Structure 1
Amino acid sequence: MNEYIQLMIDWIEDHLKNEFSLEDLASYMGYSPYYCSFKFHQVTGISIRRYILLRKLYLSTEDLENKRRIIDIALDYNYSSQEAYSRSFKAVFGVSPREFQLDQLPVQSFAKITIDEGGGRMNRSREKEVKQLRKRKEELFDQHVLNILNGQVMYEEFKNKKLMGDSDYVPFNEAMCVNATTTSIFDLAFIQTRATGHNVSEDSYSKKVIEPLTNLFKKKYNYIVLWFGEDMFCQMNLLTILAYLEQSQYEGKVFFNSFREDEFKVSQTELPLGSYYSVYEEVLVHHRKPSNKVLPVMHQAIELFLEMQKEDNIVTRYIQKNNHLPRAEMLKRLIEAFPAVGYGDTQYLNLIDKIGVDRQD
């Protein structure tokens, strides 16, 4: 079945700039349009039309970066008009093509799906990429800089190899995309609420999440560099840190280093503080769309976060449609099918168990 789906994906990729016809795809595959559509969604967790939309819009960002005329890009990707293309672009990224072209802010990558590609896909040396960053901004490598890294593994690699020179390093070991949170950040009420959500003691939570952030609380820095991936998991963690910096009235400069988990190519953006705390309250506390504009990559993550708050969301539907799979296989499929969600084993296994999937361990 995976080989069959990959053939469909390859055909779609070859025809991205043409008007899509499910009937033509079905004719190529030798199956009915309904069967092709159903199987594609069952395996990938996304509809064919949604896949095509996201691929076309993501690929068009490179054309925008290269300063091509928006009307030419729209026609190249078979949109009926520049207005139609702009509406689709803004609906997905939260900014217009013109705004993106002017500011070139990071967006969430949407790469071609490759079924059963396997692990170990990192194809770019972290050291090599960081060296390129140093050439562009040497001041982020001195003693007055704090790097906040998303997770323990990344923190240990950066700290042990001193990838950011003489600067300080701390990890943020949390999963803010699940469980309730509080309006105040990193205080006792926050610790109690988050510990309860994770079903751990307050002491255990503090040792894992709060104590590693001691330098953030105790020292003053000219610059803070935030290393977070594009997926929803990382972006909700990023939003929490940005909200805390506003809450604590941090006065230095903040840089966001965005990257994909499978390809360590960094996009660096200086972030002015000012509205992230209100976004944190609206999104993570109250589960509402934010009133303020955010980075395109965070806009996409927030849309996905709000989707995941529903009992009937894209992941639970996928689990229900594939409930014949063994638990371990289901976990593997979920991680492959939903890279934009960014959940780890714990979050997915909780969902699998909650839905009551038949397991064949």
Structure 2
Amino acid sequence: MEQVQCMIDWIEDHLKDRFSLDELSDYMGYSPYYCSFKFHQVTGVSIKRYILLRRLYLSTEDLSKNKRIIDVAFTYGYSSQEAYSRAFKRVFGINPGQYQMKKVPVQSIVKLTTYKNGAGSTMNVSRKIEVNKVKNERSDLFDKNILHIMNGQLMYDEFKTNKLLGDADYAPFNEAMCVNKTTEEIFNHTFIRTRADGHNESEESYMDKVIVPLHDLFNKEYTCIVLWFGEDMFCQMNVLTVLSYLEQTKYKGKVFLNSFREDEFKVNQTELTLGHYHLTYKETMIHHVLPSNELMPIMYQAIKIYLDMLKAENEVVKYIRKNKDLPTKQLIQTLFHLFPTIGYGDSQYIELMNKIK
């Protein structure tokens, strides 16, 4: 672990330089093959892929400052604006010019660390400060006739206990749409039966956990719906499901997405336009193909991860297979740490581990 962290630190210090595996190996005192092998073994990603993703993510900060695209391309080691734009679109689903114009959220691709610093989870007080900041900027989204939907019971309980949402209604979406089969129609009886079977629970239990808490969504009319979901794949597939349902019901009000990283509660608020999410849902979650419509980068990235995770030998499976002798708790914590953009919980990782072990 310490060796790989040294490699990561060196790579981060040279992200804007031309990368040389030989220079890295000289610095580490190991062969190029050993450095490459060890990096992938510990992190689950190749050095080349890590550098690509980090450079592209850091470049979004320069684009947000309205720097010229060609200058950003050269800054991050691309030989031309065209080469940079192709790489950018493959990862984020839109080109740099579109990103610069729309300022839409992307998944955070932060520096890897191979150890935990013991800081623990985000304190409630920091979330309260951030929510109050959002409230001060858009107080109209915290009034009556507004419904806030949160990704999961824990977030719902936290918001409710701290009375963070003013006079608005709020509800949890207690699902994991990134696993198991689903149906084209959402929240009907076939959907409930299919999802309950996938989770190995009774329809009654599924109703109590998922459907009953969404009572207000089904029975009240709202002028606006605000979605509070993380930027990882787990959360974004839940977002896609809710948006698809709103299109099915021909919802006419406004929709906002408040997205955030789970380990750093900084909210990015984006107003969404309904019209193509049900098609995207069907393409992605029923037919398992990339969507035909342009999407926010954050959702496009999540869909690519979702489709990769459907493969029998995805990166997470490979990592578990290589490290299956680790104690279950330690392996799960390592997976949380190394694959934050996936967003799986304990149960999803345990299911994968049981299949492999």
Helix, strand or coil at the partner of 2:180: coil
1:304 to 2:305 alignment: yes
The alpha carbon displacement at 1:42 in A equals 1.0
The alpha carbon displacement at 1:122 in A equals 2.6
- The match for 1:70 is 69
What is the TM-score normalised by the length of structure 1? Answer: 0.97
What is the CA deviation profile of residues 25-44 of structure 1, one whole-angstrom value per residue up to 9, with x for unaligned ones? 01100111111111111111
Unaligned runs of 5+ in 1: 357-361
1:7 to 2:22 alignment: no
- The match for 2:122 is 122
Matches within 5 A, 1:242-321: 242-321=243-322
In structure 1, how many angstroms separate the alpha carbons of the residues matched to 2:17 and 2:121?
30
What is the CA deviation profile of residues 221-250 of structure 1, one whole-angstrom value per residue up to 9, with x for unaligned ones? 111000111111000000000000000111
- The match for 2:93 is 94
1:221 to 2:232 alignment: no
Helix, strand or coil at the partner of 1:147: strand
What is the CA deviation profile of residues 248-273 of structure 1, one whole-angstrom value per residue up to 9, with x for unaligned ones? 11110000001000000000000000
Structure 1 counterpart of 2:120, which letter? G
Structure 2 counterpart of 1:134, which letter? K
Structure 1 counterpart of 2:312, which letter? E
Which range is displaced more, 283-292 or 186-195?
283-292
Helix, strand or coil at the partner of 1:79: coil
- The match for 1:331 is 332
In structure 2, how many angstroms separate the alpha carbons of the residues matched to 1:228 and 1:131?
17
What is the CA deviation profile of residues 194-246 of structure 1, one whole-angstrom value per residue up to 9, with x for unaligned ones? 00000000000000000000000000111100011111100000000000000
Helix, strand or coil at the partner of 1:109: coil
In structure 1, how many angstroms separate the alpha carbons of the residues matched to 2:45 and 2:11?
14
What is the TM-score normalised by the length of structure 2? Answer: 0.98
Helix, strand or coil at the partner of 2:111: coil
Unaligned runs of 5+ in 2: none
What is the CA deviation profile of residues 284-341 of structure 1, one whole-angstrom value per residue up to 9, with x for unaligned ones? 1111111111110000000010001110101111111222322222112111111111
Helix, strand or coil at the partner of 2:214: helix
Helix, strand or coil at the partner of 1:139: helix
Helix, strand or coil at the partner of 2:211: helix
The alpha carbon displacement at 1:120 in A equals 1.4
Give % identity.
61
Structure 1 segments, 4+ long, off by >4 Å, are none
The alpha carbon displacement at 1:119 in A equals 5.2
Helix, strand or coil at the partner of 2:319: helix
Structure 2 counterpart of 1:256, which letter? L
Helix, strand or coil at the partner of 1:125: helix
1:44 to 2:43 alignment: yes
- The match for 1:359 is none
Which range is displaced more, 325-334 or 150-159?
325-334
Helix, strand or coil at the partner of 2:158: helix
- The match for 2:182 is 181
- The match for 2:199 is 198
In structure 1, how many angstroms separate the alpha carbons of the residues matched to 2:29 and 2:242?
51
In structure 2, how many angstroms separate the alpha carbons of the residues matched to 1:292 and 1:73?
27
Structure 2 counterpart of 1:250, which letter? Y
In structure 2, how many angstroms separate the alpha carbons of the residues matched to 1:125 and 1:338?
24
- The match for 1:160 is 161
In structure 1, how many angstroms separate the alpha carbons of the residues matched to 2:131 and 2:243?
22
Helix, strand or coil at the partner of 2:227: strand
Which range is displaced more, 323-332 or 183-192?
323-332
In structure 2, how many angstroms separate the alpha carbons of the residues matched to 1:89 and 1:216?
37
Helix, strand or coil at the partner of 1:113: coil
In structure 2, how many angstroms separate the alpha carbons of the residues matched to 1:232 and 1:253?
24
Helix, strand or coil at the partner of 2:149: strand
